[in-house]
Amino acid sequence: MTLGEFVLPSSQTPRALIIAAAALVILAAVWILQGFGYQPCELCLTQRYAFYAAAPIALLTAFAASRSARGWARAGFALLAAAFVANAALAAYHAGVEYHWWAGPTACTGGLNGSIDVNDLVKALDSVKVVRCDEVQLRIAGLSLAGWNVLASAALAIYAALAARL
């Protein structure tokens, strides 16, 4: 078996299983990083939704493909591609927030609105630890986790789109 046959097998079933495995591996990686103390921000947690959804959708797509329900399998791949395109866009937005190219959500970038009572602020600081979306906690090979998510989600979107067409 060549690398090309492994990465893009002739059957839709293994293609769907590859996507499910990739989603689960990515989720395991971020959970392991979280176990080592890297706490996710609000945008990081939102970006995980695509992977939480992708694993069961990919497994259902594999099941449909194994039953020769090609139309359902193609629809599953199309849904996976759409989810990963949306996730790549969200991750690109998050990377832009980290590079301060644009403002992020006020819930995790420190924006304050209205009048603030100093005593309430001190009490809140004692009880709440907000992980900022505009500060990178970890860079791997020069990219933040949001940057890596752009690449991973885009690659999975392309792979799912190709699988839907083949």
Nearest-angstrom CA–CA distance, 122 and 120: 6
Nearest-angstrom CA–CA distance, 54 and 42: 20
Q: Domain range holding 70?
A: 10-105+113-165
Residue 18 belongs to what H/E stretch? helix 12-35
Residue 1: inside a domain, yes or no?
A: no
Specify whether the CB–CB gap between 48 and 30 falls below 8 A. Answer: yes
Per-residue confidence (pLDDT) for residue 132, from 0 to 100: 87
Residue 69: inside a domain, yes or no?
A: yes
Question: Would the pTM count as exceeding 0.85?
Answer: no
Q: If you search the block for the tokens 């090979």, which residue do you land on?
A: 141
CATH number for position 27: 1.20.1550
Residue 142: inside a domain, yes or no?
A: yes
Cα distances (angstroms) measured from residue 111 to each of 116, 130, 134: 12, 12, 11
State the total domains in the chain: 1
Residue 3: inside a domain, yes or no?
A: no
Each residue of 86-133: pLDDT tens digit? 999 999 999 999 999 999 887 776 655 556 677 776 676 666 677 888
Residue 4: inside a domain, yes or no?
A: no
Residue 56: inside a domain, yes or no?
A: yes
